[in-house]
Amino acid sequence: MKATDDLSPMTGRLVLAATPLGDVGDASSRLVEALATADVIAAEDTRRLRSLAGALNVSPGGRVVSFYEDVETARLPKLIESLHAGQTVLLVTDAGMPSVSDPGFRLVAACVEEDIPVTCLPGPSAVTTALALSGLPCDRFCFEGFAPRKPGERAKWLRELAVEPRTVVFFESPHRVASTLSDAAEVLGGERRAAVCRELTKTYEEIKRGTLAELAEWAADGVRGEITVVLSGAPPRDVSVADLVGEVSERVAAGERLKSAAAEVAEATGVSKKELYDAVLASRK
């Protein structure tokens, strides 16, 4: 196989390739070359892969296999076997970077365990695109994957974010984004700022910025498309151990273990974990 530079696809190597979020023009020339030359292409959706290849005017040169969540574990042995045989395996998902809330992590971990080279063809990512467009601080952020589906788990997750100082990025289904934003406004406060990024890079791309209360009201009428939410970090807090006893007690009442709740609140606020734990116990007497 012809290599254009040190990071180009090579034999006996797993190549993770980012694919366009919507606009096919975002595909890199290296992705086009990899599609044409890889021995095996593991695709989250083979139909979407062939549609992308057609739009790029390239014919997949190797064997194409499906690699979505339900078959990921079952496909690993054959893919590892191909890699050990000196073949290049190209991993692509429907959009964005493999492994980021998409199939890929298990295969990468298996390659690391087997000492098989892994490289990446960087490109589109909904996480960093939404973050850059949000208008919120980008110097420190965390990615939370998809918001929990069940209301109780989502409420617990939001309570944890209540003290997260970094900007938070997460994905959400268009069918649940209204309820998630409403819950977030209730738990985190309606004045906390956020951005909802819809259909990134596509024809009907839309970025809605505002407070959680404003965004929850906007989403109540229904939202369509692929959704990425960016949430501002919690403002700095000047609190004492006594100020936090009630917060920990509320989390325990909601089902968390006292030890873990005290530890998380203490870490987020900078107070002593032991002092906070002891203060909660003392408040019960």
Q: Which ranges in the chain belong to alpha helices (H)?
A: 29-37, 46-55, 72-84, 105-113, 126-134, 151-161, 177-188, 212-219, 241-253, 258-269, 273-283
Q: DSSP assignment of 84-147, as one string?
A: HTT-EEEEE-SSB-TTSSSTTHHHHHHHHHTT--EEEE----HHHHHHHHH-S--SSEEEEEEP
Cα 219 to Cα 201: distance, rounded to the nearest angstrom: 20
Short-list 214, 226, 222, CA closest to 185: 214
- Token pair recorded at residue 246: 């009630």
Q: Are 46 and 78 in contact (CB under 8 A)?
A: no
- Predicted confidence band of residue 1 (pLDDT cuts 50, 70, 90): very low
Beta strands 88-92; 63-66: pairing state: unpaired
pLDDT digits (tens, 9 = 90+) for 101-125: 899 999 999 999 999 999 999 999 9
pTM assigned to the model: 0.79
Domain ranges of the chain: 13-124, 127-231, 241-283
- What superfamily in CATH does domain 13-124 come from? Tetrapyrrole methylase, N-terminal domain (3.40.1010.10)
pLDDT at 5 over 60: no
Confidence of residue 85 (pLDDT cuts 50, 70, 90): very high
CATH no. of 127-231: 3.30.950.10
| Contacting residues for 167 by C-beta, under 8 A, at least 6 apart | 131, 134, 136, 137, 138, 140, 141, 142, 230, 231, 232, 233
Write out the two tokens for 199: 């259909």
User: Is the confidence at residue 9, as pLDDT, over 70?
Assistant: no
User: In this predicted structure, what is the pLDDT of residue 239?
Assistant: 77
Contacts of 190 (CB under 8 A, 6+ apart): 211, 212, 213, 216
Per this entry, what is the length of the chain?
285
Return the pLDDT at 269: 77
Q: How confident is the model at residue 6 (pLDDT cuts 50, 70, 90)?
A: very low
Q: Counting Cβ atoms within 10 Å, is residue 149 exposed (0-12), middle (13-18) or buried (19+)? A: exposed
Specify which residues 64 forms β-bridges with. Answer: 41
Give the percent of the chain with pLDDT over 70: 96
